[in-house]
């Protein structure tokens, strides 16, 4: 994601990431199956209230090619009463997406797209002068045939791929709503505040901060979804609000040891960063 290489002692843990993603996906599948044992929505009219919320898909083996040459390992589809937003992630970082207003009819979801994510502008050294990914205005229309049941939503993409999504609740979890500090000499900060879902990430190793909102998908095992409104890199302030840049971080919360392990991509590599609660000693 950035050009420089980090000078720190974090070890790259791709195997740990794959294991965590597999366990999270398996847990979500079990919950979806249990939820589906209730009333089936098949045979009834599907309305916006049935779709409202967040729907998650994780590709645990190989990344999914959602458009020619573009790959993702996770997708979150959010529906409100009238609006839809889809965000594709690869190794925790948003790489694609679209948003707009939607309607339901004849077993199809039709989205009048207002913005699409432009990943061509890759984030580079601000001293280079240009290059930040962003949301661009669009006027496309996407049609997704779908089938629906309690806990599960299957959509067929314009290129005829079928994607099975699971209903996933994201919220600010009380046990995680703390100020965390990494357990190494760098003492990088991760602030997950409950007030207004405030989020701050401070990486002292390369002198950059991210600010925005956060929510998580589970208790001890899940995903932290952050939406970054503003980034400061080497003194350069990049504002993304109101159409902001997304990240999806696998995490493990160990309440026994009081640690929060978060997978974060820094300078093109994935790191499992271990955080502990930041306890401020009174003067």
Q: Is the pLDDT of residue 5 over 80?
A: no
Specify the pLDDT at position 191.
94
d(CA 1, CA 11): 18
Q: Predicted confidence band at 159 (pLDDT cuts at 50, 70, 90)?
A: confident
pLDDT at residue 24, as a whole number: 53
Residue 3: partners with Cβ closer than 8 Å, 6 or more residues away: 124, 125, 267
pLDDT band at 165 (very low <50, low <70, confident <90, very high): very high
Name the pTM for this structure. Answer: 0.81
Q: Return the SS3 of 79.
A: strand
pLDDT at 113 over 60: yes
Q: How far is residue 249's CA from residue 51's CA, in Å, rounded to a whole number? A: 24
pLDDT digits (tens, 9 = 90+) for 175-224: 999 999 998 877 889 999 998 889 999 887 667 789 999 999 988 999 99
Write the burial class of residue 37 (CB in 10 Å: 0-12 exposed, 13-18 middle, 19+ buried).
exposed
Confidence of residue 10 (pLDDT cuts 50, 70, 90): very low
**Segment among 98-112, 119-133, 149-163 with least mean pLDDT:** 119-133
Q: Of 164 and 150, which is predicted with more confidence? A: 164
Q: What is the pLDDT of residues 42-76, one digit of tens each?
A: 446 888 999 999 999 999 999 999 988 999 999 99
183 to each of 186, 193, 276, how far by Cα in Å? 8, 19, 6
Phi, psi (deg, nearest 5) at residue 26: -65, -40
Peptide bond into 137 cis (omega under 30): no
Q: Which of 4-18, 128-142, 147-161, 178-192 has the lowest mean pLDDT?
A: 4-18
If you average pLDDT over residues 95-110, what whole number do you get? 94
**Rounded Cα distance, 237 and 244, in Å:** 14
Q: Is the dihedral of CA 15, 24, 222, 55 positive or negative?
A: positive
Residue 263: per-residue pLDDT: 94
The pLDDT of residue 25 is 55
**What is the rounded CA–CA span in Å between residue 221 and residue 137?**
36
- For residues 248-276, give the mean pLDDT: 92
Distance CA 277, CA 61 (A): 33
Q: Which residues pair with 54 in a beta bridge?
A: 78, 168
Token pair 């919320």 is found at 53
What distance, in Å, lies between the first and last C-alpha atoms of the chain? Answer: 39
Q: What is the mean pLDDT of residues 220-232?
A: 92
Q: How crowded is residue 161: how many other Cβ atoms within 10 Å of its Cβ?
A: 11
Highest mean pLDDT among 20-24, 132-136, 190-194, 202-206: 190-194
């Amino acid at each position: 994601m950035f050009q420089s290489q980090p000078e720190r002692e974090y070890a790259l843990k791709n195997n740990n990431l794959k294991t965590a993603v597999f366990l999270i996906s398996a847990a979500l599948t079990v919950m979806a199956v249990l939820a589906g044992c209730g009333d089936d929505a098949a045979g009834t009219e599907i309305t916006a209230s049935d779709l409202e919320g967040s729907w998650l898909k994780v590709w645990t083996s190989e990344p999914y090619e959602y458009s020619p040459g573009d790959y993702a390992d996770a997708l979150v589809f959010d529906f409100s009463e009238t609006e839809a937003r889809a965000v594709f992630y690869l190794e925790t970082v948003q790489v694609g997406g679209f948003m707009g207003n939607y309607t339901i009819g004849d077993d199809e979801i039709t989205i009048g797209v207002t913005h699409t994510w432009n990943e061509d502008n890759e984030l580079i050294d601000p001293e280079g002068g240009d290059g930040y990914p962003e949301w661009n205005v669009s006027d496309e229309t996407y049609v997704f045939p779908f089938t629906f049941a309690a806990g599960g939503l299957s959509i067929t993409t314009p290129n005829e791929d079928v994607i099975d999504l699971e209903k996933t609740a994201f919220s600010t979890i009380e046990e995680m709503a703390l100020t965390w500090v990494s357990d190494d000499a760098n003492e990088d900060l991760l602030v997950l505040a409950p007030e207004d879902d405030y989020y701050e990430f401070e990486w002292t190793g390369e002198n950059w901060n991210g600010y925005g909102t956060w929510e998580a998908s589970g208790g001890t095992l899940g995903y932290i979804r952050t939406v970054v409104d503003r980034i400061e890199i080497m003194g350069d302030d990049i504002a993304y609000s109101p159409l902001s840049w997304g990240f999806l971080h696998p995490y493990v919360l160990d309440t026994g040891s009081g640690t929060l392990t978060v997978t974060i991509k820094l300078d093109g590599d994935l790191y499992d960063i271990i955080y502990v609660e930041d306890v401020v000693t009174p003067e």
